[in-house]
Amino acid sequence: MKQLTALLLTVLVAAPAQQPPAKDTEVQIVTKGTPTFKATSTLVIVNVSVKDKDGKPIEGLTASDFALTEDNKNQAIKVFEYQRLEEVIAANPTPTVAPKKAAPKPEAPKPAAEAPKPAGIAEAKQIAPSRAGEVKYKDRRLMVLFFDQAGMPIPDQVRAQKSAIEFIDTKLTPSDLIAIMQNSTDLAVLQDFTSDRDQIKKILKGLVAGDVGLNEGSTGDENEADSGAAFTQDESEFNIFNTDKKLAALETAVKMLSSLPEKKALVYFASGMSKTGIDNQAQLRSTVNAAIRSNVAFYPVDARGLVATAPMGDATRASQGGRGMYSGQTQRSQQSNFQSQQDSLYTLAADTGGKALLDQNDLAVGITQAQKDIASYYILGYYSTNAEPDGRYRRIKVQIKKNLHASLDYRGGYFASKEFKKFTSGDRERQLQEALMLGDPVTDLGVALEVNYFRQGRDRYFVPISVKIPGSDLELARKGGAETTRLDFIGQVRDAKGVAQGIVRDEITVKLKGENAGQLAKRNLSYDTGFTLSPGTYTLKFLARENESGKMGTFETKFTVPDLTSEAKLLPISSVVLSSQRERLDAALANAVKDKRITAANPLVQDGQKLVPSVTRVFRKEQDMYVYLEAYQPAAESTQLMMATVSFYRGKVKAFETAPLKITEGLNPRSKAVPVSFSVPLEKLQPGKYTCQVNVLSPAAQKFAVWRSNMVLLP
């Protein structure tokens, strides 16, 4: 295995860091004239549903009737409550909010410069937390209505809004408390838990349907219609072509609910959840684990309802051409994309104990399902005897001492917290090694990653890995007149059988001075490494850690290295790399490996310059786009003529195409690779979302290759 690693500073906008939840309770023992001793204990809440053989809740049990263990060690139950929830629908539930005060005197008119707030939405609120061990909402069923406006077209937003109002009008019970959250450009809590029907309806009716958020109301499906509107960047290029933004919003929402020991159901209204572009499984797993720790079950509702798709698409799509319309490939692609979007919703529900409502036009059924699933239950709380902040999984087992024929439903465990400041150098190294094995990813540090492949021999491929980290996530320390930070990287590649095929471990110190240090928050750090692999399917898990604060970020994805020697119908090509900059190798902030032979193995390094892949596929009008790939001519002794073009599509309409490029030289006698390189000025294109298509044709072999990818052009 050969590896190439380097760290470069690139000029792109960074993503904000996520704040980890605090679940520990600090206890101080102070005696006059003596030192202060501090101890940290973790309160663990377990909600247990106890039902008889007929499925009815069993009441009357006490804390002494339960036996609770963590990793086979007995735990003393310190918090015990029974939540008795009513099922009878009430016409006018009794509000649990504070009584309304007398109407205030009319205020003076606001200045004209102050924009009015949307109807029904007063001010940004937060979910009011409870104290450790306190059951704040006695005998109440907690449900959150979460509207993902950033991922729903306008018709779906209206449908979700009407269904929620219908549920409030007809299905609300005296035990139900409703909170409302909205995700557009940011996560907002519009209403804390309340049973005031009028207040809930006021908030719901105040939701304004419109093209908002990162996707301008689109689902991210490449087959959907293009509106032609310009794309406006919201926060960061890190959050444009992946689901991390939506999943991070859900994770933030469940962390807000973590202080409440009661069961919670989060009803998530969305139009599917696509997995286009960067596919980070670590963020999905982190969101699911945060929900489990917070006793939150997801109930995703596909706001599209039951969809019947026409073979060639509906009236919003332009007429399609090519052989796909005759072979059925276009229809299969549409159906596969649609099912993939629903699979993401199903995963959120199944892994947290909820249920997904798919292909159902009555969206209120999804809220009703969450209501039915939260029946009467017991709240058990204990302070774990294992206070080690090692991040390991702790298994929980609950039993009833009485001889009852009862079924118990509860979470089977949780991941312990991690504490970085007290780690020794050995502890820090062990933390990195164990983090690769833990099922609970860490997403405090933003990480975006791209995997490519280039043929070196018949059964050998060089696989460069490009990683980007937002500079705003890093903390610098002042040392010796420079701002410094130390970054640790560890990654592992496993094949389809789970056997490790490669590992990388680097520790790099970055020093910044003057202007570079001041602009770090607006820039990204790019890290590169590489592996030599055989054709096959692999799983890459990569972890980065910043050592001033201890923040870590995990990226996990599957990728395939194809066997290009077996390609008979199409022209075999490598990955296609899109880039907006080239950097001199001697301009790198740090190098972990300085081996000229290893550098020579990377086709992205030429003439002392490295092509920096645009991991997030985001460009600006004033930039040139560099396109690089290799086409392979296995039987050729000299370079055979090839023609190549780069096209840009808005929906199904071709917006721009380069002049054909003739390739007549460059054949590598060992790998039989011919480099294909473009430099495309982007100034003639309008800002927006595009599909970039690369076409390569070999007239002599009568073969061609087509590669497509989404991209965004900013002003």
Residue ranges, comma separated, of all CATH 2.60.40.10 domains in the chain are 1-17+444-616
Residues 6+ apart with CB under 8 A from 234: 185, 213, 214
Residues β-bridged to residue 28: 38
Strands 642-650 and 688-698: antiparallel
Q: Hey, CA dihedral for 357, 358, 360, 361, is it positive or negative?
A: positive
Reference 300, options 184, 427, 440, 151; nearest CA is: 151
Note the pLDDT of residue 493. 93
Return the biggest CA–CA distance within the chain: 92
Structure tokens at 299: 């109930």
Q: From the CB of residue 131, how many other CB atoms can be counted at a distance below 10 Å?
A: 8
Residue whose structure tokens are 């087992």: 397
Q: Where are the alpha helices (DSSP H) in 180-273?
A: 197-205, 244-256
Reference 532, options 450, 592, 457, 604; nearest CA is: 457
- Cα 640 from chain centroid (whole Å): 44
Note the pLDDT of residue 330. 64
DSSP 57: B
Query: Is 3.40.50.410 the CATH classification of the domain at 85-95+132-213+233-276+284-375?
Result: yes
Contact criterion met (CB below 8 Å) for 164 and 178: no
Reference 137, options 83, 198, 183; nearest CA is: 83
In which element (H, E) is residue 546 found? strand 536-546
Residues 6+ apart with CB under 8 A from 437: none
Residues β-bridged to residue 298: 266
Ranges of residues in the chain with a pLDDT under 70 are 1-41, 87-125, 133, 211-243, 274-280, 309-331, 333-334, 418-424, 426-427, 430, 434-440, 477-482, 513-519, 521, 587-599
Note the pLDDT of residue 418. 64
Reference 456, options 161, 297, 200, 668; nearest CA is: 668
Note the pLDDT of residue 629. 95
Residue whose structure tokens are 């009862």: 406
Contact criterion met (CB below 8 Å) for 70 and 395: yes
Reference 184, options 270, 261, 309; nearest CA is: 270
Q: What one-letter code names the amino acid at 254?
A: V
Structure tokens at 605: 């390094």
* DSSP annotation string for 464-508: EEEEEEEGGG---EEETTEEEEEEEEEEEEEETTS-EEEEEEEEE
Residue ranges, comma separated, of all CATH 3.40.50.410 domains in the chain are 85-95+132-213+233-276+284-375
Residue 566: phi and psi, rounded to 5, are: -90, 0
Note the pLDDT of residue 70. 93
Q: What is the pTM of this model?
A: 0.58
d(CA 259, CA 255): 8
Side-chain-side CA neighbours of residue 355 (13 Å): 13
Class of domain 24-84+377-418: mainly beta
Q: What one-letter code names the amino acid at 553?
A: G
Residues 6+ apart with CB under 8 A from 328: 311
Residue ranges, comma separated, of all CATH 2.60.40.1710 domains in the chain are 617-715
Contact criterion met (CB below 8 Å) for 166 and 205: no
- CA separation (Å) from 234 to 212, 227, 240? 10, 18, 9
Using DSSP's 3-state secondary structure scheme, residue 356 falls into: coil
Q: Which fold has domain 617-715?
A: Immunoglobulin-like (2.60.40)
Contact criterion met (CB below 8 Å) for 435 and 442: yes
Q: What one-letter code names the amino acid at 454?
A: F
Q: Which fold has domain 1-17+444-616?
A: Immunoglobulin-like (2.60.40)
Helix count and strand count (H, E) for the chain: 10, 36
Structure tokens at 250: 């859900």
DSSP 86: -
Residues in the chain, how many?
715
Using DSSP's 3-state secondary structure scheme, residue 67 falls into: strand
Contact criterion met (CB below 8 Å) for 558 and 500: no
Three-point CA angle 137, 62, 394, nearest 5° = 75
Residues β-bridged to residue 125: 189
Phi-psi region of 26 (alpha: psi -120 to 50; beta: other; left: phi over 0): beta
